[in-house]
Chains A and B, each alone.
Chain A
Amino acid sequence: MTEAAIMPKWQFWKTQNGIPLADRMTRFVKIVGLPFAGILVFLILWQGSASRIETSLGKFPGPVQVWQQAANLYAEHQREREKATKFYERQETRNAKKLAKNPDAALKVRAYTGKPTFFDQIFTSLYTVAFGFLVASLIAVPLGIICGLSENFYRAVNPIIQIFKPVSPLAWLPLVTMVVSAVYISEEPLLEKSFLNSAFTVTLCCLWPTVINTTVGVAGINQDLINVSRVIRLPAHKHIQKIVLPSAIPMIFTGLRLSLATGWMVLIAAEMLAQNPGLGKFIWDQFQNGSSDSLGRIMVAVVAIGFIGFMLDKLMLILQRRVSWDKKAVLR
């Protein structure tokens, strides 16, 4: 018998779905209360220690200052957007007037060239990491599958993977920059060179975890399933589609998640180093600015980077859940 049945009617609030109030409270504390308490303690420690750190740009920002700076950055973004709309409005009325005077007048349409705001920089970074990650995945997953299927191929490729894997992609950055500017020549470039530099640097570090994990996943397929495929004589492409990919999906995603996480970290560093647009440049610019707000603004960027990295990983988990056959698997 559940407690709900025993309890008098007027005490209905004490249970819900047969779970007593006390149990629900415990669960609420566990799921919501503990993380909240953790954050609160962290904020207190942060505020306490920040006020004691004196730098040449003033005190180290505590949570309150960081929050103010976040609000400022948002306000700046709004102002910039307003300016842009006004600019386009003025341009339109000017052109309309010109047309009214002389229907054949040559019109000039210019794009607004304001300073990119914090939020513009976030989106630039997101595009860049997405592009670099996508290129890397398109190379790494098929390469990993071949490595997993053919031991000989793996033996041939493995030394190269092992040597390039530990190289910081930032070491590649100058080479990438030079190669892109030498090879990518076009009158009206579809993609900015700086964008390509950052993106390819991300690609170079996103390759390895995915290649290695895909290889391990593919090589570890249950021998019985491979035998089934041999007995019914599945052709190679069907073998990969029906047997290899579904069994290797968890490992492929482990690789992809590791790749995306390192890719995101590396991108910020690459943007700082190469002055390519994005969050990294925002941080570097603030540092060079050296105003009393700078440290607070950098801290806003730090928190934003962390939060975005966390969301990217969640996004990959959602994607994994959608493509994985095992909907009940616990994904962490």
Chain B
Amino acid sequence: MSNYLDISAVGIEFKTESGAFRALQNINLKISKGEFISLIGHSGCGKSTVLNIVAGLYSASEGGVILDGREVDEPGPDRAVVFQNHALLPWLTVYDNVGLAVKQVFNRQKSKAEMNDWIEHNLKLVHMEHAMHKLPHEISGGMKQRVGIARALAMQPKVLLMDEPFGALDALTRAHLQDSLMEIQTDLNNTVIMITHDVDEAVLLSDRIVMMTNGPAASIGEILPVDLPRPRNRLELAEDSHYNHIRQQVLRFLYEKQKNPAIRAQASAPLVEPIAKESHQGNPKAA
């Protein structure tokens, strides 16, 4: 079962007006069923591109992705995506947004009543049953993201792809959603690939953290297993030395081995302390 999802030798080149741009090179990653993987790296390193290739939204220039014994060649509901800015249809209610996906994916497999139960069940899972008949602009950003997750879960995907799902939210809302996600994950044990910028989020949620090198021609730098016991509690972990050790390893990779290209470019500028900054923004619960 260790290669339920097999990303092998994937590379991609984009054609631009100033010639070809190689974004990814030789990405190899095997993921087992039920594993939670975080992809972390600096902006522009091609994390989202990896996710889009797995989703089938981009097709790789070389290499390929095999999910559960079948090659990925187009987008499909078995690889549901949670988008960074929720991507809910603004003209449909919360219920209908999930419903559109459910009706399309389970067309003829479920009766109307079963579909209705399934939609409501998934909205309950993310604690959004109270706002079922509201439109997206009537609910908060965190709530929209919950609905986005419910829509993806409702497709019963083989692998759940999350593209910086909490990136646009404030720290407190983000913490709530991370807890909800962990809770759901204990119940469903989905296979998940999540892109994140947030070191704490990665350590808290993942089984393995995949750290990417800077682009162009980005690749996987290191893979760090997170062997913290579950269920994990953010307050207890803040004091945990093993947790802090893992955290430090990620930070060291990001800020020593792969210096942020933006900072490297202005080497003459006074050095900001990226580590201190990151730990402030990423560790609100420790305060």
Residues of A within 8 A of B (CB): 222, 224-225, 227-228, 230-234, 238, 242-243, 246, 325-326
Could you give, for residues 25-65 of chain B, a 1 whenever the CB lies within 8 Å of some chain A CB and a 0 otherwise?
Answer: 00000000000000000000000000000011100000000
Q: Which of B3-11, B99-107, B236-244, B260-268 contacts A (4 or more CB under 8 A)?
A: B99-107
Determine whether B225 belongs to the interface, using a CB cutoff of 8 Å to chain A: no
Task: Tell whether, in the assembled complex, residue B100 and residue A242 are in contact, meaning their CB atoms are under 8 Å apart.
Answer: yes
Chain A residue at smallest Cβ distance from B91: A325
Determine whether B258 belongs to the interface, using a CB cutoff of 8 Å to chain A: no
Contacts of A243 in B (CB 8 A): 89
Determine whether B215 belongs to the interface, using a CB cutoff of 8 Å to chain A: no
Question: With A231-B76, A242-B100 given, is the CB distance from A325 to B90 under 8 Å?
Answer: yes
Contacts of B105 in A (CB 8 A): 232
Determine whether B83 belongs to the interface, using a CB cutoff of 8 Å to chain A: yes
Chain B residue at smallest Cβ distance from A327: B135
A-B complex: 4 closest residue pairs judged by Cβ atoms: A325-B91, A224-B87, A230-B75, A246-B91
Contacts of A246 in B (CB 8 A): 89, 91
Determine whether B155 belongs to the interface, using a CB cutoff of 8 Å to chain A: yes
Q: How close is B21's CB to chain A, nearest CB, in angstroms?
A: 19
12 contacting pairs across A/B (C-beta < 8 A): A222-B87, A224-B83, A224-B87, A231-B57, A231-B77, A231-B79, A231-B80, A231-B155, A232-B100, A232-B101, A234-B104, A242-B89
Contacts of B155 in A (CB 8 A): 231-232
Residues of B within 8 A of A (CB): 55-57, 74-77, 79-81, 83, 85, 87, 89-92, 100-101, 104-105, 155
Q: How close is B159's CB to chain A, nearest CB, in angstroms?
A: 12
Please report whether the interface of chain B is mostly helix, strand, loop or mixed according to DSSP: loop
Q: How close is A55's CB to chain B, nearest CB, in angstroms?
A: 56
- The total of Cβ contacts below 8 Å across the A-B interface reads 53
Could you say which of B81, B85, B91, B92 contacts A231, with CB atoms under 8 Å apart? B81
Chain A residue at smallest Cβ distance from B85: A224
Task: Tell whether, in the assembled complex, residue A227 and residue B75 are in contact, meaning their CB atoms are under 8 Å apart.
Answer: yes
Task: Tell whether, in the assembled complex, residue A231 and residue B55 are in contact, meaning their CB atoms are under 8 Å apart.
Answer: yes
Instruction: Give the CA-CA distance A228 to B55 in the complex, in Å.
Output: 11
Instruction: Give the CA-CA distance A231 to B74 in the complex, in Å.
Output: 9
Chain B residue at smallest Cβ distance from A325: B91
Contacts of B92 in A (CB 8 A): 242
Contacts of B85 in A (CB 8 A): 224
Contacts of A225 in B (CB 8 A): 87, 89
Could you say which of A222, A227, A233 contacts B104, with CB atoms under 8 Å apart? A233
Q: How close is A105's CB to chain B, nearest CB, in angstroms?
A: 65
Task: Tell whether, in the assembled complex, residue A233 and residue B91 are in contact, meaning their CB atoms are under 8 Å apart.
Answer: no
Q: How close is B279's CB to chain A, nearest CB, in angstroms?
A: 31
Chain B residue at smallest Cβ distance from A249: B91
Of A222, A228, A231, A238, which is in contact with the most chain B CB atoms at under 10 Å from its CB?
A: A231
Question: With A232-B105, A238-B104 given, is the CB distance from A227 to B87 under 8 Å?
Answer: yes
Contacts of A234 in B (CB 8 A): 100, 104
Instruction: Give the CA-CA distance A325 to B92 in the complex, in Å.
Output: 9
Task: Tell whether, in the assembled complex, residue B83 and residue A233 are in contact, meaning their CB atoms are under 8 Å apart.
Answer: no
Instruction: Give the CA-CA distance A243 to B105 in the complex, in Å.
Output: 17
Instruction: Give the CA-CA distance A244 to B90 in the complex, in Å.
Output: 12
Of A224, A228, A238, A326, which is in contact with the most chain B CB atoms at under 10 Å from its CB?
A: A228
Chain A residue at smallest Cβ distance from B86: A224
Instruction: Give the CA-CA distance A329 to B79 in the complex, in Å.
Output: 35
Q: How close is B10's CB to chain A, nearest CB, in angstroms?
A: 19
Q: How close is A112's CB to chain B, nearest CB, in angstroms?
A: 51
Question: With A224-B83, A227-B57 given, is the CB distance from A232 to B91 under 8 Å?
Answer: no
Instruction: Give the CA-CA distance A214 to B75 in the complex, in Å.
Output: 27
